[in-house]
């Protein structure tokens, strides 16, 4: 599992339009990298909408928001269009970045155990170091909690 104070794993993944997006693209900016289980599910939709609603505040602070799940770029495109999401959604069907960040974990639902993405948000500094890790976050309050960490 990653820890605060360590370098964030580098990555390049396609966004909802198929364009490659790398962590290095945002050198010199803080990045909110949030991992979520699935497009168009109730919790993930509320989380994305909360980040979208706060996007102006993040932008005014020079902070880039990025969402990551294992959904396809086509799924991300529909999700982003449906909810007018103003930030990139990255597709990681091979789980390369999801596993690098340690968010592919055992989950229990109604007594059934399965593997899946545990909703986790990373705040990454301008120089690529993990400043904060928030695991098992609540979709409705995650964006505001990150803003509070940033002093807003």
Catalytic residues: 44
86 in the Ramachandran plot: left (φ > 0), alpha (ψ -120 to 50) or beta? alpha
Cβ-contact 135, 117 below 8 angstroms: no
Q: At a CB cut-off of 8 Å and minimum separation 6, what does 81 contact?
A: none
Residue 48 to residue 89: CA distance in whole angstroms: 10
CB 50 within 8 A of CB 144: yes
Token pair 């059934």 in the structure block, residue: 112
């Amino acid at each position: 599992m990653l820890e605060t104070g360590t370098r964030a794993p580098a990555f390049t993944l396609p966004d909802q339009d198929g364009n490659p997006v790398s962590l290095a693209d945002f050198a010199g900016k803080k990045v909110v990298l949030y991992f979520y289980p699935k497009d168009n599910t109730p919790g993930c939709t509320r989380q994305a909408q909360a980040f979208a609603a706060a996007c102006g505040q993040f932008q005014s602070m020079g902070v880039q928001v990025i969402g990551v799940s294992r959904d396809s770029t086509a799924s991300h495109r529909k999700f982003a269009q449906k909810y007018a999401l103003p930030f990139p959604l990255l597709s990681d069907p091979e789980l390369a970045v999801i596993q690098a960040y340690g968010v592919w974990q055992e989950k229990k639902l109604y007594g059934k155990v399965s593997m899946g993405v545990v909703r986790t948000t990373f705040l990454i500094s301008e120089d690529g170091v993990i400043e904060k890790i928030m695991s098992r976050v609540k979709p409705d309050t995650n964006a505001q909690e990150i803003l509070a960490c940033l002093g807003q």
